[in-house]
Structure 1
């Protein structure tokens, strides 16, 4: 791995009573050691996983609407106040990579269209399948990005925030193959915040749960995502009857 450790500079924080420092997992955070080329952040909405991932991306110089260090365009995201309080430990330091933020992917696609209009060469779309991402379906544009932009042979860090948002189950499996090829053949490192039990099934990955008072490593079978999905598939009628039962 290139990114070895993420540390919270607790001595710089004046108060743990304000967001995002009052989020339990952030409040208790000292450091996270990244042991594998693929790490998953899992947890309920508001548990701090996306906040931490975005702050890592900010420290890497990646555009918070989506992109790498060379994708410079206005961001309409809120200021990530956690960024100034993190220290990233590298071995070696890498500048190559990409931050995918599913909810702002539209803004990244629009940025590429504007860049293509300014340059007028058509070369802008080369790393994205040769066509505007807006002219592809949401899922197709995601896979086009993964298949074309995520193919550099250099060391790279890919930070993905809920990449399953636009992907069918079959295409989530395609993403798993892309992650496998890049992490095993080109020394790419992935940190992925996800709710997908399919993506979480990636073999040998580290899964960090944000659902408790502290960030803790867990196994695939112990994640709520796996357990609820498994129970639902085995007991669909009973679970729905209980869910819709009138008190």
Structure 2
């Protein structure tokens, strides 16, 4: 990140921007930094001024205790301010939940697009999320960062052998460094259910997207978001999974943001 701004509570946030035109801010999900969404910024910057930033506690950004979801909304407000005072938002996975919360809070947002925000769509899934929250909180309180990462990877459905292989990977140390921020994404997701009351208060257009190669519940969650907001739309991308191809996703976002 080549620039820094201060959030309302004094936390330094690393961000960078490219392109010209109306502003778009990309919001990353769990276990990721702004670099994760940077490949999407490149094609979008041909039509928009696009910002990527490291959410607090990650990458080039600082952190200030105690954490609250409201502080992350203020972080987004600071980035939007640096981009001219108004922007469209794109959030992937739990970053989508943060983008939706920001829009509901009344930030100067023109559009919100979210990709596969992982809201639980069954009672069993809600119970699994509650158990995850309890175990994650304990692991982080006891300094067991590796166990925290394992808990998250299991929640995403990764096979146990893949998880143990990842633990032997040179990338594992970087994953452990991001482990404390898992609590932040967990807080952003609330109890894991679709926050219909919050979504019903959003007055700007919202596009909820999912890939047809992802589990069916991901598409159900995206449709639920679109149905809950007054100006919602739902889109399925053919051949895409939770890691969508930026060259496929960017034209869809560009069309939506240009409206």
TM-score, normalised with respect to structure 2: 0.31
TM-score, normalised with respect to structure 1: 0.32
The structure number with the bigger radius of gyration is 1
